[in-house]
Structure 1
Amino acid sequence: MIGRIRGILIEKSPAQALVECAGLGYEVDIPYTTFFNLPETGDELVLHTHFVVREDAQSLYGFSSRLDRDLFRLLIRVNGVGPKLAAGILSGLDANQFIRCVEARDASALVKLPGVGKKTAERLLIEMTDRIGQLEGQFVAGSPSAAVSVGAPQAGSAMAHHPEEEAEAALIALGYKPQEASKAISKVAGEGLSSQELIRLALRSMIPAN
């Protein structure tokens, strides 16, 4: 099991980071909440990881916090929730937000996530209620969400030419329908906003913080 990787960030996109470590380049799948916390390319970073081995693929998932990684491991144990869906959940809600949803029994916030229907949301609330106790000591009440906070754009990391189109494409890649993505981006669009800021604002409008 590869539980942690430390190296130089070579490339990054909303769904993946390429990290060079000891001369090897590791392609690490990441949720959006981790993407927003990545440093500039060329800088050192540490990701908490989970290695998934299947008959047809091997994938390394990375997270900026150990709490997000540990929650990911609990999510993939839920019936019907695979690594891709678990990463999608952590793209819309960081670990602290998800835990608050479970504690508040807030299924309405969960069903707004792509790939999460009413039955899956109910299953998540039932099965995760007992499991989140395993994260005791890591959850920070009232901590800000990387997915919904609005900060200054990171220099050199924005997809610069058409931020609205790129933000819309990123939401579609996350699993939102094109019409939903277009509507969300149009609602928050403003002059001078980077694609990262647009994604953050759009996610906040679709998945309000508790």
Structure 2
Amino acid sequence: MIGRLRGVLVSKQPPWLLVEVGGVGYELEAPMSTIYDLPGLGKEVILLTHYAQKEDSVALYGFLQEAERALFRNLQKVSGIGAKIALAVLSGVSTADFARLVHAGDVVALTKIPGIGKKTAERIVVELRDRVDGIAVALPGGASPGMPVDAAGEATVALQQLGYKPAEVARLVQKAAADGDSAEAIIRKALRAALGG
């Protein structure tokens, strides 16, 4: 599986990008939120990727921030949403604004995103309410590509990868994190708290 690419940006034709890595050109689809923040052609770029393989096709999607990739993946877990609609969501609203809309249960605002009808918006609110917390908290806007902003952000991502729910992770990290703590220290304290120690 391809998780990250570092190479030269050769072409930008939204939603398509071409990144050359070691003499190989990778075609990726990316949301507009990523395309807006890309460097100029011929410059180095680091993209987090999502590799998708179906019976009849293979696709690679690129993102500048982990929060975008995480939301892209979570959106596709909602019945009726595929990669195309997930890209439209990311192109139409920031991850933080999306989290706010989901928490507020703002179905009307969600239906303004291309490809999302009322029933799909309602499913998004129900199915993603608990998940968007961790995405928005884990990596606020402005994160370096592929890297959490700070030790707390790094610990949040690590705990989610261990299988903890985003809302629980946000609570654990908030209680465990102290000024000057490394990500490892926060993770240790959060795991002790989660296990009742």
Specify if TM > 0.5: yes
What SS does structure 2 have at the residue aligned with 1:9? strand
CA distance in 2, matches of 1:90, 1:69: 9
% same residue: 45
Please state if 1:107 is matched with 2:96: no
- The aligned residue for residue 17 of structure 1 is 17
What SS does structure 2 have at the residue aligned with 1:99? helix
What SS does structure 2 have at the residue aligned with 1:85? helix
- The aligned residue for residue 52 of structure 2 is 52
Which runs of 5 or more residues in structure 2 are unaligned?
Answer: 143-197
CA distance in 2, matches of 1:139, 1:41: 27
- The aligned residue for residue 72 of structure 2 is 72
Offset of residue 68 of structure 1: 0.2
Q: How does 1:82-121 map to 2 (within 5 A)?
A: 82-121=82-121
Q: How many residues align?
A: 142
CA distance in 1, matches of 2:139, 2:27: 28
- The aligned residue for residue 147 of structure 1 is none
Q: How far does the alpha carbon of each residue in 1:20-60 deviate from its partner, in whole angstroms, 9 at most, with x for none?
A: 00110000100111110111000000111100101111000
Q: How does 1:124-143 map to 2 (within 5 A)?
A: 124-135=124-135, 137-140=137-140
CA distance in 2, matches of 1:136, 1:113: 19
Offset of residue 136 of structure 1: 6.1
- The aligned residue for residue 39 of structure 1 is 39
Q: How far does the alpha carbon of each residue in 1:133-167 deviate from its partner, in whole angstroms, 9 at most, with x for none?
A: 44264253xx59xxxxxxxxxxxxxxxxxxxxxxx
What SS does structure 2 have at the residue aligned with 1:100? helix
Q: Is the 8 A contact 1:96 1:139 kept in 2?
A: no
TM-score under structure 2 length normalisation: 0.68
Q: Which has the higher contact order (CA 8 A, sep 6+)?
A: 1
CA distance in 2, matches of 1:59, 1:74: 17
Which runs of 5 or more residues in structure 1 are unaligned?
Answer: 145-210
Q: Is the 8 A contact 1:30 1:61 kept in 2?
A: yes
- The aligned residue for residue 29 of structure 2 is 29
Q: Is the 8 A contact 1:9 1:18 kept in 2?
A: yes
> Over aligned residues, Cα RMSD in angstroms?
1.5
Deviation beyond 4 Å, 4+ runs, structure 1:
none
CA distance in 2, matches of 1:63, 1:3: 10
CA distance in 1, matches of 2:33, 2:57: 24
